[in-house]
Amino acid sequence: MKSDVVERRRQEEAPTGTEGFRWFSADTLDATSGDLAAETRRAYLGRLRWVEAELNGEPLTDMSLSELLADMAHDGKSSSMLAQTVAAVRFVARRLGQSDPVGPRCEIVLRTNRRSTGPPRQVAAVDWADADAAADAACERGDAIGLRNAAVIAVMSDALLRVSEAAALDAADIHRGGDGSGHADVRRSKTDQENNGVSLYLRRMTMTRIDAWLDAAAIDGGALFRRIRRGGHVTAVRLTPRSIRSIITESAAAIGIEGASGHSLRIGVAQSLIRSGAQLPEAMLAGRWQSPAMLTRYARADLAGRGAVARMRPDCPNQ
């Protein structure tokens, strides 16, 4: 009871912009947007719903928002879209009486994106072989953190998960098949507005990595990927999207890949699929892309090697 009172009091003492506020919700706009034009309200609501889904319960801070803005930039979103996202967040923060969550990190992302005159810089890719190597390297730690990180990398690589989707997984979302493979039920994602959910394939090796993590952590329900305290104590606290981004970045760096981000596994798997002969519709279905634009950008070099000229024009003019 005492802990409940302390937690409630902590929440009532409005956190600052650096700590973030956990009750951020797109629904807040309904009660605070009376003086907004209808078109502006619709635009803000769309951006706030996206931010809310990506945060997945993580506090809204300069750090977490800057990472989302960077992801948008890597996805080819325009400077105006980034600016609109910031404006929507600032509007709600102001109406809630909170400090401005847009700080120096967000400003750097916005400034860099505005100055860019060419196509958005693509982050480093982590393809199938890289993901397996990163998971193996994580396991070599020989502790619960290594087993968890290996499972995170393997699941995200197989299922082409976004960081918010990986953070939201529960142990009950993982199902085993008779041949040792399995599937993960993703109950909600930013491309599944009706919340119909989708089941995504997991290899036998990935299921083995999941089992090793679950056994080491003694998890039989609740969040699949959790925080681990010093001393190897596995908590019941779900990893945040930011934590999963860090796992990807650090795991990739451990095998020599610098510049990885939360998108790196999806980019790398897109490339692996195209290299292995998958057609665009197949790859789009696997990654749940609604249009071929992003997939084409991710795998443009591999697609070029499968184009009409590559297939039909001989290397030697005499042939």
pLDDT averaged per 10 residues in sequence order, the chain, 319 residues: 36 39 65 76 87 77 86 77 92 84 90 66 84 97 96 97 92 95 84 71 97 96 95 92 90 93 90 90 88 79 74 66
195 domain residue, yes or no: yes
Same domain, 258 and 133: yes
Burial of 317 (0-12, 13-18, 19+ CB in 10 A): exposed
Same domain, 42 and 109: yes
Sole residue written with tokens 């956190």: 15
Same domain, 165 and 239: yes
Same domain, 96 and 171: no
306 domain residue, yes or no: no
CATH of the domain at 192: 1.10.443.10
Same domain, 219 and 240: yes
Secondary structure of the chain: what % helix, strand, coil (to 5)?
Answer: 55, 10, 35
247 domain residue, yes or no: yes
Structure pTM? 0.71
The domain in which residue 111 lies consists of 15-115
pLDDT at residue 291 in the model = 78
pLDDT at residue 301 in the model = 79
Nearest to 77 by CA among 38, 125, 116: 116
Please say which residue of 262, 288, 306 terminates a domain: 262
d(CA 178, CA 192) in angstroms, rounded, equals 29
Name the domain count of the chain.
2
The answer to whether 235 and 228 are in contact (CB under 8 A) is yes
19 domain residue, yes or no: yes
pLDDT at residue 50 in the model = 82
pLDDT at residue 58 in the model = 74
Same domain, 110 and 133: no
